[in-house]
A and B are shown apart, each in its own frame.
Chain A
Amino acid sequence: MTINEIQDEIIDEFSFFGDWMEKYEYIIDLGKGLSLIDEQYKTDDYLIRGCQSRVWLRADAAPGGKVVFTADSDAVITKGIIALLMRVLSDQTATEVANADLYFIDKIGLKEHLSPTRSNGLLSMVKQMKLYGLALSTQAS
């Protein structure tokens, strides 16, 4: 699936939630899932400094010009949103990651979590993911 196909799929899933509680319960469930990064990478080298919650991010090049992301956070809501971002951006080609237009966040009513004032590290994380995508796509070409 392309990045936009996955985004549309998520938007469709979220349209079934009746209120904010159902939506957040889903995100919290995602956040409570398995660790999305190997424990050995939860170090300062992989830390994205947000003001409030800590976020760790790692990118690996995969065959076919693809990039695989792993990430984690100490806050469960942040981690749940990370899980959504992984679903959209991980295992896509580096060029597509670098050029991705992440419209799904706004459409599912989570825009505030990616605002610069929220300082939860998510906005920095998205920027960092795109930078990795850019770096890996330049390497490839």
Chain B
Amino acid sequence: MLNSPSQSQTVDFAKIREDFPILHRSVKGKPMVFLDSAASSQKPKAVIDVLNQYYENTNANVHRGVYQLSQEATDAFEAGRRKVQAFINARHEHEVIFVRGTTEGINLVASSFGRQFLQAGDEILISAMEHHSNIVPWQLIAGQTGASLRVIPVSDTGELDMEAFDSLLHERTKIVALTHVSNTMGTINPVKTIIGKAHQKGIPVLIDGAQAIPHMEIDVQELDADFYVFSGHKMLGPTGIGILYGKEKWLNQMPPYHGGGEMIKTVTFAETTYADLPHKFEAGTPDISGAIGLGAAIDYINAVGRDAIAAYEHQLLEYGTQKMLEIPGIRIIGTAENKASVISFLLEGTHPFDVGTILDQMGVAVRTGHHCTQPLMERFEIPGTVRASFALYNNFEDIDRLVEAVQKAATMLR
């Protein structure tokens, strides 16, 4: 574990790799090259140890026991919430809602905000590069309320058409829901500008931060986002825990999403009054170990330093892009100026699935397919891509192995 200050010059990224036990294993007799962190990141030993310690020493249900163990579990759980609050610079602790992941967070907002504020004729503005989890929840609530979905188009380089955005944003728009970073192409969207423009017209904005949070500093107050949603498992934390940040003023006006324990003040058969934030949106026993593990992941990221991580990942992206483009017949999908460490590509004359299969045989783990962005694949008229995504524990040798494997796939498949 690192204790050094967060200066990119002082971070030894070769040492960081040692903190991730899974990277020592092999696949098909070869050292594993893991290039699918955009789907789910690996976990440092510090996070794994905290999860073990929780179950060995602290496990009890939260917020109800009078006994010491439950108090300790509650303290650790709530400490996780405060770490998240500080990490994204939320104004209030109770604006941080624990959910299962980004998908649940978006569903919560679509359902609760939608039931309260949407009616027939209203519009929900999304973009053509959204993950299915930022499309389908809005389609569901649109179907129930009579609202409709409008879509900001994407350019050939994989960037939002901002002129189209300006004209699509009008008085019928009731909410804008947009990804911060494209999971398929790595495009970093100008969300601060977009939020500013929407707010000029009094329209709230939800940002899907699943792909942004592992790679850059996020300050929800500086962005002025109304909702910011992300998953723990993509940022070195455990699976099953995620965060919905929402401004107090919106969360207070929205009805609960799930009913059950934890989220009530009083219950009679005639009427129930709801608990205050954040508990109103946290029905049932939460993912206690997940919240604590997420806190440990935040500690880890802070110790390395987010600036250092961003700078290092950018080096990987630049090196990877340059090396990949040296392979004849490579087409990169997503060539935005502002990009996170994702390279989505096609190899001319081959199917992404075939390339992925050969890469797997060579111990290189990548994602192939439509990446849950079918409308985007249609936009580019392609069946899917091969996606390599890099995290702080990857190194330049991983990229060399990727390039070597893609060259082998080209020889075998063409």
Contacts and interface: CB of A to CB of B under 8 A. Distances in A.
Contacts of A74: 351, 383
A52 B353 CA distance: 6
Given A74-B351, A76-B351, A76-B354, A24 B384 contact: no
Contacts of B413: 28, 76
A52 B383 CA distance: 8
Given A54-B383, A77-B354, A78-B353, A25 B412 contact: yes
Contacts of A78: 353-354
Contact of A20 (B353, B361, B368): B361
B361 A75 contact: no
Interface in B344-388: 350-354, 356-358, 361, 368-369, 383-384
Interface string A68-104: 0000001111100000000000000000000000000
B352 A52 contact: yes
B217 to A, nearest CB: 35
Contacts of A34: none
Interface residues of A, number: 16
Q: In this complex, which of A24, A74, A77, A78 has the most chain B Cβ atoms within 10 angstroms of its Cβ?
A: A77
Given A20-B28, A24-B361, A75 B353 contact: yes
Chain B interface size band reads 10 to 19
Contacts of B358: 24
A21 interface: yes
Nearest to A20: B361
A45 B282 CA distance: 45
A51 interface: yes
B350 A76 contact: yes
A21 B351 contact: no
A53 interface: yes
Nearest to A80: B354
Given A25-B412, A76-B354, A52 B368 contact: yes
A52 B369 contact: yes
Nearest to A121: B353
Contacts of A20: 28, 361
Interface in A47-73: 51-54
A7 interface: no
A137 interface: no
A53 B383 CA distance: 8
Given A28-B413, A51-B369, A52-B369, A77 B353 contact: yes
A119 B350 CA distance: 18
B184 to A, nearest CB: 14
B357 A77 contact: yes
Nearest to B357: A77
Residue among B357, B361, B383 with max Cβ neighbours from chain A (10 Å): B357
Contacts of A52: 352-353, 356, 368-369, 384
B412 A53 contact: no
A131 B213 CA distance: 47
A119 B370 CA distance: 12
Contacts of B350: 76
Nearest to B383: A74
Interface in A8-41: 20-21, 24-25, 28
A118 to B, nearest CB: 9
A75 B357 CA distance: 10
Contacts of B28: 20
A77 B361 CA distance: 13
Interface of A: 20-21, 24-25, 28, 51-54, 74-78, 119-120
Given A24-B357, A52-B356, A54-B383, 12 more contacts: A21-B412, A24-B361, A24-B412, A25-B412, A52-B369, A53-B351, A53-B383, A75-B353, A75-B354, A76-B351, A76-B413, A77-B353
For the complex of A and B, the 3 pairs showing the least CB-CB separation, nearest first, are A75-B351, A75-B353, A52-B353
8 contacts: A20-B28, A24-B361, A24-B412, A28-B413, A53-B383, A76-B351, A77-B357, A119-B369
